[in-house]
């Protein structure tokens, strides 16, 4: 399976309790829907899990996952990301995107000049922020992922057009 055939849908935040449950952080719009996309795999694809959500907990969900029966096994997977096959995920409206589809895309300004490449997408609670790396630049450009700052995302052409703020 190619890397772009899977999407990161969550991460294991550690053990929950002492009986093999995990604290799961879901990256899905509906957090509990993560179980619907099983089997989930580790990033390298070597491990596969089914997920049964047991309850909501602070910072995420408590869940039982196949192959995890003890607190120690759950703790060993702390920080592991969980990946779903793209075809199991719902189609998105025209103005929504999976982060995996944006990372690596070239970014151009409204005049067509290259700005850089999307390196990551961050969200610290106030909306998504594109981290754009430009060749020869030491620091990444951080740009809010809003319609005003990012008027065009063209997945077919494989590019993003940004309207950079005027420098003062």
Domain residues for 23? Answer: 3-88
Average pLDDT of adjacent 10-residue blocks, the chain of 168 residues? 73 91 90 92 92 91 94 93 90 81 92 92 83 89 92 91 80
- Tell me the DSSP string of 37-58: GPSEE-TTSS-EE-EEEEEEET
The confidence score (pLDDT) of residue 168 equals 46
End residue of a domain, out of 88, 114, 141 = 88
The confidence score (pLDDT) of residue 136 equals 84
φ, ψ of residue 76 to 5 degrees: the values are -60, -25
How many structural domains compose the chain? 2
End residue of a domain, out of 43, 61, 88 = 88
**CATH code for position 140:** 2.30.30.240
Rounded to whole angstroms, the Cα distance separating 75 from 79 reads 9
The confidence score (pLDDT) of residue 2 equals 46
pTM for the model? 0.71
Per the domain annotation, does 167 fall within a domain? no
Shared domain for 117 and 154, answered yes or no, is yes
Tokens of 34: 């993560």
The confidence score (pLDDT) of residue 151 equals 93
């Amino acid at each position: 399976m190619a890397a772009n055939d899977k999407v990161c849908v969550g991460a294991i935040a550690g053990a929950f309790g002492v009986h093999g449950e995990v604290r799961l952080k879901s990256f899905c719009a509906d957090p509990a829907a993560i179980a619907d996309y099983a089997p989930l795999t580790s990033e390298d694809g070597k491990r596969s899990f089914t997920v049964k959500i047991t309850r909501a907990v602070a910072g995420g969900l408590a869940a039982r996952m196949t192959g995890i029966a003890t607190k120690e096994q759950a703790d060993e997977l702390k920080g592991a990301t969980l990946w779903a096959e793209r075809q199991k995920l719902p189609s998105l409206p025209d103005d929504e995107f999976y982060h995996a589809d944006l990372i690596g895309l070239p970014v151009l300004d409204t005049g067509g000049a290259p700005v850089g490449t999307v390196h990551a997408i961050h969200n610290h609670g106030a909306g998504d922020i594109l981290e754009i790396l430009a060749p020869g630049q030491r620091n990444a450009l951080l740009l809010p992922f809003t319609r005003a700052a990012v008027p065009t995302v063209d997945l077919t052409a494989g590019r993003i057009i940004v309207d950079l703020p005027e420098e003062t």
